[in-house]
A and B are shown apart, each in its own frame.
Chain A
Amino acid sequence: MLVYLGKRLVYTIPIVIGVSIVCFMLVHIAPGDPLVSVLPPDASEQLKIQMMAAYGFDRPYYEQFFKWCLRAIQGDLGTSIATGRSVTGEVLNAVRNTLLLAVVATFIGFFFGLLFGFVAGYFRNSAIDKIASILSVIGVSVPHYWLGMVLVIVFAAQLNWLPPTGAGPGGSSEWRPDWAHIRHLILPAVTMSVIPMGIVARTIRALVADILSQDFVPALRAKGLSELGIFGHVVKNAAPTALAVMGLQLGYLLGGSILIETVFSWPGTGFLLNAAIFQRDLPLLQGTILVLALFFVMLNLIVDVVQTAIDPRIQRS
């Protein structure tokens, strides 16, 4: 196990370096001046050079990269060009809101995904399997930003049950566990949960059907084990994969929340990315993407390690 853990960590290091290089290069594949949003269009050449030097854009790429990495390790992701505030602070505030949304969505999606997947895999080719399969296909093919709009139309515009946008009353962006804030969370979380629901239902259905076709199941039946007992064995065998999918989905939701956050004006990382892109605030864009991507890499690492810890067969293969 320790050897595996070591190997997995060593494998992660080049990925982290590669991800950092890609994030760093984002600023440099961008056309035009990185300072275009702060400088007036008629800025003098001298002012331009001064500003470039102040932000360190006049140094060679590799030097900029190392300085950027060194500061990033110390928790400093630079200064937002548009607001002049620290990128780290802005990202951390936003990540909290996105994490809340993604975690709640993952749990909702998982509950229903597991339910549909187990039922469909267990009663294969029954009517209930067909319904569950259709729901899972819908879950993976629906454009979730459109689903969000439809839910807003139905539950906010027509029925007036839930608020259409925002994270709290009066544009509050600090989340508190009271009813007013929970009401704001329902629609975006449900919208987001559809993605993991479809994928989990699909994966679990195939997995359960596969487990049930293995030799140990008739053996357990012959031994006289109850159906519930057999179900317990199926759950035990499906758990490592289910956990792995859950971890990865959480990562995908964190990184992919921008569309849903735009629909619901949710004050998270997606909202920040949106602002960064349209104000051409490249340090903010770079920092947000780096944090989200590293989150995803770490989640992958944790998922692999946990999966191996609970199912030693994976390590051997």
Chain B
Amino acid sequence: MTFVTSFLPQDPAKTAVPIEKSPGYWSGVFQRFRKDKLAIAAGVIVLLLILMAILAPLVAPMDPYAGRTIRRLRPIGTTGFPLGTDELGRDMLSRLIYGARFSLMMGVTPVIMAFGIGSLIGIVAGYVGGATNTVMMRTIDVFYAFPSVLLAVALSGALGAGIQNALVSLTVVFIPPIARVAEAVTTQVRNRDYVEAARASGANALTIIRVHVLGNVLGPIFVYATGLISVSMILASGLSFLGLGVRPPEPEWGLMLNTLRTAIYTQPYVAALPGAMIFITSISFNVLADGLRNAMDVKV
């Protein structure tokens, strides 16, 4: 630009204007995100949920494991138990607060692990191409050929109940979709002129991946992965609901929902509470991910 403008007749009023640094990509993302009120509200709820999980011992009014059958299934609004008590007489409010620890951990961890493994598989397959790509992606396709709930239930059903097995199953479920997105964007980036130019100027594969590929593919993959957290929350709590994830007496929302099923005739509102927590968390992550996608202008 400066080269071209220097040939134009100089306007004395304009020459004095100092050069402004053009706003970068991230500041544009931030500007767009700031205007999205719904996404900000969702982000605030997610932050509050995370804080609630971290500070559970400080905020919870009672011990989430201490129950007494004499005060079982109290309604919402009972003095001392603002959200009632569960089928073993444990304080629902405290259990819901502590439940955030288990449920968030169970929902978010698989997506983070799948983000790492899936990106690695997809980027390598997309960058190397050829037969390596075919073998890797066809293997991924096999796992993608299972409906996600079925694969999660099949794996954790075979491995047996427990937190670890549920986390492994969910990670396996989320690797294929992430790897496919990673492979698609990497293949696109790999054929761009700047990658060609870097290769022509003698850069080795690792440098190209680090400098040119990662910077351009991690954004879209990240946005796509955030969108999966909502599904992962529902699936993870679903596994515990089936008795395949977190086990009693731990307070996990899906598991609490299952054990309270017997109470739908006596205390319907108390019985529905854990599910409402899963719903709030899942919808907040969903809206937040949508906001991120729009702000970062990613199409996946």
Q: Are B230 and A146 in contact, with the CB atoms below 8 A?
A: no
Given contacts A149-B261, A157-B264, contact A137 B287 (CB under 8 A): yes
Please give the distance in Å from A202's CB to the nearest CB on chain B: 10
Option from A21, A157, A263, A285 in Cβ contact (under 8 Å) with B265: A157
Distance, CA A273 to CA B158, complexed state (A): 11
Q: With contacts A26-B158, A141-B279 known, is A256 near B145, CB below 8 A?
A: no
Whole-angstrom distance from the CB of A209 to the nearest CB of chain B?
Answer: 14
A262:B158 contact, CB within 8 angstroms: no
User: A30-B159, A140-B286 in contact; A259/B244 too (CB < 8 A)?
Assistant: no
Contact B159–A31 (Cβ < 8 Å) = yes
Interface string of B242-282 (1 = CB under 8 A from A): 11100000000010010001001100100110111011001
CB of B148 within 8 Å of the partner chain: yes
From B242, which residue of chain A is reached at the shortest CB distance?
Answer: A262
Are B158 and A285 interface neighbours, CB within 8 A?
yes
Digit string of A139-154 for contact with B (CB within 8 Å is 1, else 0)?
Answer: 0111111110110110
Complex Cα–Cα for A292 and B154 (A): 11
* B142 interface residue (CB < 8 Å to A): yes
A267 interface contact, C-beta 8 A = no
Which of A157, A255, A293, A296 lies in contact with B268, CB distance below 8 A? Answer: A157
Interface size on A, residues (CB 8 A): 50
Contacts of B147 in A (CB 8 A): 251-252, 254-256, 292-293, 296
A151 to B271, CA, bound (A): 12
Cross-chain contact of A153 among B148, B155, B241, B268 (Cβ < 8 A)? B268
Q: Are B159 and A149 in contact (CB under 8 A)?
A: no
Interface of B is mostly: helix
- Once the chains bind, are B268 and A158 in contact (CB under 8 Å)? yes
Determine if A77 is an interface residue (Cβ-Cβ < 8 Å): no
CB distance from B62 to the nearest CB of A (A): 24
Contact residues in A for B234 (Cβ distance below 8 Å): 141, 143-144
Is B119 close to A, CB under 8 A? Answer: no
Tell which of A152, A255, A273, A300 has the most Cβ of chain B within 10 Å. A255
Q: How far is the CA of A147 from the CA of B241 in the complex (A)?
A: 13
- A260 CB to closest chain B CB, in angstroms? 10
Determine if B142 and A18 form an interchain contact, defined as CB atoms under 8 angstroms apart: yes
A15: B residues at CB distance < 8 A: 138, 141-142, 145
Contacting A26 at CB < 8 Å: which of B154, B237, B268? Answer: B154
Q: Inside 8 A of B279's CB, which chain A residues have their CB?
A: 141-143, 146
Does any Cβ of A come within 8 Å of B153's Cβ? yes
Assembled-state Cα–Cα distance A22/B144 (Å): 12
B71 to chain A, nearest CB (A): 22
- The CA-CA distance from A258 to B242 in the complex, in Å, is 9
Complexed CA–CA distance, A14 and B138 (Å): 8
CB neighbours (8 Å) of A92 from chain B are none
In angstroms, Cα B268 to Cα A145, docked, is: 15
Cβ–Cβ < 8 Å partners of A256 in chain B: 147-150
Chain B nearest CB from A50 CB (Å) reads: 25
**What's the minimum C-beta distance from B145 to chain A, rounded to whole angstroms?**
5
- Chain A residues near B56: list those with CB within 8 A: none
Residue B81, interface by CB 8 Å: no
Contact partners of B149 in chain A: CB under 8 A: 252, 255-256, 258-259
Q: CB of A80 within 8 A of chain B?
A: no
| Bound-complex Cα distance A259 to B234 (A) | 11
**Which residues between 131 and 182 of chain A lie within 8 Å of chain B, taking CB atoms?**
137-138, 140-147, 149-150, 152-153, 157-158
Q: In the bound complex, how far is the Cα of B282 from the Cα of A51, in angstroms?
A: 47
Nearest to A270 among chain B residues (CB) is: B153
Q: How far is the CB of A20 from chain B (nearest CB, A)?
A: 10
Residues in chain B near residue A285, CB distance under 8 A? 154, 157-158
Q: Tell me the bound Cα distance from A115 to B118 in angstroms.
A: 36
Q: A14-B138, A19-B142, A157-B265 are in contact. Are A143 and B244 (CB under 8 A)?
A: no
Known contacts A30-B158, A146-B257, A259-B238; A18/B146 CB under 8 A = no
**Minimum C-beta distance from A274 to chain B (A):** 7
**Beyond A143-B254, A289-B154: 18 further Cβ-contacts under 8 Å?**
A15-B142, A18-B145, A19-B142, A26-B155, A27-B158, A31-B160, A141-B234, A142-B282, A142-B283, A143-B275, A149-B261, A149-B272, A157-B265, A254-B147, A259-B149, A273-B154, A277-B242, A278-B243
B residues near A (Cβ < 8 Å) are: 138-139, 141-143, 145-150, 153-155, 157-160, 230, 233-234, 237-238, 241-244, 254, 257, 261, 264-265, 268, 271-272, 274-276, 278-279, 282-283, 285-287, 290
29 A-B residue pairs with Cβ-Cβ distance under 8 Å, sorted by A, are: A15-B141, A18-B139, A19-B142, A23-B154, A29-B159, A31-B160, A137-B283, A140-B286, A143-B237, A143-B282, A144-B234, A146-B272, A146-B276, A146-B278, A147-B275, A149-B261, A150-B272, A150-B275, A152-B264, A153-B268, A157-B268, A255-B149, A259-B238, A262-B242, A273-B154, A285-B154, A285-B157, A293-B146, A297-B145
Interface residues of A (CB under 8 A from B): 14-15, 18-19, 21-23, 26-27, 29-31, 137-138, 140-147, 149-150, 152-153, 157-158, 251-252, 254-256, 258-259, 262-263, 273-274, 276-278, 282, 285, 289, 292-293, 296-297, 300
